Amino acid sequence: MAISFSSHSFAQTLSVKLADSDGNDLADVVIELFGPENVSLENIETNDVEIDQVDKEFVPGITLITAGSRIRFPNSDDILHHVYSFSSVKTFDTPLYGMADESQPAVSFDMPGVVEIGCNIHDWMLAYIYVGESDKMAISDDSGVATIQNLQAGDYRLKVWHSRLSADENTMTQSITISETQDTEVSLSLELIRDRRIRRAPSANRKRYR
């Protein structure tokens, strides 16, 4: 695909409006843009972050990082958690630990892709780590809008991911053009599969692992 950029257009904005097949606003959709500046991962800055565990849930539920970044998993609950992932992008397994265990090492994520994490103690706990090749990423808000700013005008490849998107690897791509003269708005309708995640169980007791 030919790439053409104007030398004076460096501050355009892309807004992507996401909805499901019934027209409902769709939150928690990840968008990622690829242009010529994203070809080499050597120029992409890493961003080390944390995913906390609060009231037996991962916070946040979706985290965006670039390849090479690291994540810590603090435990703000007064019970034990055991974070793990069997994803091909990154497999890891933490020991059972509580909020006093400050020595938990950060986990490095070197390969791009999506990592699904869970807790071996609480089956309903689920979160996603989107490891990007590009630093141009965003997550749609409750109104279904994801925004990326400070873009050069030109042709890009737009990648869209949602945990229930009915497509290979829950991902779709399409070509878009960022205008030289105005912000660019794109609307997409996504076909979703049924939500099969385990529902949260009521607390039966106050043991440290419950």
Average model confidence (pLDDT) across the chain: 88
Residue type for position 48: D
| Closest listed residue to residue 155, CA positions, set 174, 138, 134 | 174
Domains along the chain?
9-40+136-192 (2.60.40.10), 45-132 (2.60.40.420)
pLDDT one-digit tens code per residue, 79-129 = 999 999 999 999 999 988 887 776 688 999 999 999 999 999 999 999 999
Phi-psi region of 92 (alpha: psi -120 to 50; beta: other; left: phi over 0): beta
Question: 52-54 and 49-50: which strand pairing?
Answer: unpaired
CA distance 57 to 119: 9
Residues 13 and 149: beta-carbon distance below 8 Å: yes
- Per residue in 125-165, pLDDT (tens digit) is 999 999 999 989 999 999 999 999 999 899 999 999 999 99
